[in-house]
């Protein structure tokens, strides 16, 4: 199952049982901007998909009071298979998050150093703006449990420190690469046309030597 909405609904049912409309409200309060919900119908589709996969099941219907003429709403709970699947999915998220971080570093290094440095500065400004928590706490955590709010606040604090440390390291590396380019350009200009050709031949021979097994 690829839908983050489906896994979000499963998480809510692991937390406690629920039914369709109840889950729509809990989903919006708990996840807010972290998982986008464009329509309540997505919750009902997720319930069907989860039940088809054996990850959730309907609770036995309770006997409604005599004055209630409406059909009782089906309540759901997570199954043992649902709990195992949810735990496995969380482990995959950790791996994918690390892969995304590595991919960003690789792709940043593909840019010319000056362009990469400018992009790094923009990324840092965007990140710092996102880290600013308004008065009263993070609104994205309004419906989450107190434990979830504490855990999210701590992971954000640690993540901010590590991200800013890496940004400073990357900035130093890019500045060193820019300085090396400028130094190489200065040597080439001082050497004249013949010296530039010699430097190019040397660079080419070094690249061929480095490519040999």
Is residue 96's pLDDT more than 60?
A: yes
Q: Which whole-number Å values give the CA distances from 67 to 10, 59, 62, in the listed order?
A: 33, 22, 14
pLDDT at site 34: 85
Is residue 206's pLDDT more than 50?
A: no
Of the two residues 170 and 60, the one the predictor is more confident about is 170
Instruction: Supply 129's token pair.
Output: 């703006």
Per cent of the chain over pLDDT 70 is 78
Is residue 135's pLDDT more than 90?
A: no
pLDDT at site 210: 42
Q: In 53-145, which residue ranges form alpha helices assigned H by DSSP?
A: 80-109, 113-131
Q: What is the mean pLDDT of residues 5-29?
A: 95
Alpha carbons within 13 angstroms on the beta-carbon side of residue 112 total: 4
Q: What is the mean pLDDT of residues 168-173?
A: 95
Q: What is the mean pLDDT of residues 61-67?
A: 62
pLDDT at site 167: 94
Instruction: Supply 45's token pair.
Output: 């589709």
Q: What is the mean pLDDT of residues 182-194?
A: 71
pLDDT at site 63: 63
Please count the residues of the chain. Answer: 213
Evaluated on CA atoms 44, 46, 49, 55, the torsion sign reads negative
Q: What is the mean pLDDT of residues 136-143?
A: 57
Is residue 212's pLDDT more than 50?
A: no
Mean pLDDT (the chain) is 83
Residue 76's φ and ψ, nearest 5 degrees, are -120, 155
- In degrees to the nearest 10, what's the CA dihedral of 7, 10, 15, 18? 140
Is residue 103's pLDDT more than 50?
A: yes
Instruction: Give the DSSP letter of residue 154.
Output: H
Q: What is the mean pLDDT of residues 77-97?
A: 94
CA angle 115, 123, 185 (to 5 degrees): 20
Alpha carbons 47 and 33: distance in angstroms, whole number: 21
Residue whose C-alpha is closest to residue 21's, from 44, 1, 2, 3? 44
Is residue 115's pLDDT more than 90?
A: yes
pLDDT at site 71: 67
Is residue 191's pLDDT more than 70?
A: no
pLDDT at site 207: 42
Buried b (16+ CB within 10 A) or exposed e, 135-168: eeebeebebbeeeebeeeeeeeeeeeeebeeebe
């Amino acid at each position: 199952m690829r839908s983050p909405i489906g896994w979000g609904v499963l998480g809510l049912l692991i937390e406690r049982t629920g039914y369709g409309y109840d889950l729509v409200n809990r989903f919006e309060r708990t996840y807010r901007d972290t998982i986008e919900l464009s329509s309540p119908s997505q919750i009902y589709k997720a319930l069907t998909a989860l039940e088809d996969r054996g990850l959730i099941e309907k609770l036995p219907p309770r006997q409604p009071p005599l004055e209630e003429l409406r059909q009782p709403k089906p309540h759901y709970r997570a199954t043992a298979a649902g709990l195992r699947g949810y735990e496995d999915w969380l482990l995959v998220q950790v791996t994918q998050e690390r892969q995304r971080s590595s991919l960003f570093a690789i792709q940043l290094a593909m840019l010319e150093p000056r362009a990469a440095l400018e992009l790094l500065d923009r990324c840092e400004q965007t990140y710092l703006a996102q880290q600013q928590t308004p008065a009263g706490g993070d609104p994205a955590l309004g419906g989450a449990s107190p434990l979830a709010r504490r855990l999210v606040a701590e992971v954000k604090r640690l993540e901010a420190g590590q991200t800013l440390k890496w940004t400073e390291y990357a900035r130093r590396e890019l500045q060193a690469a820019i300085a090396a380019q400028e130094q190489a350009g200065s040597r080439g200009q001082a050497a004249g046309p013949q010296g530039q050709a010699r430097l190019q031949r040397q660079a080419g021979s070094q690249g061929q030597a480095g490519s040999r097994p």
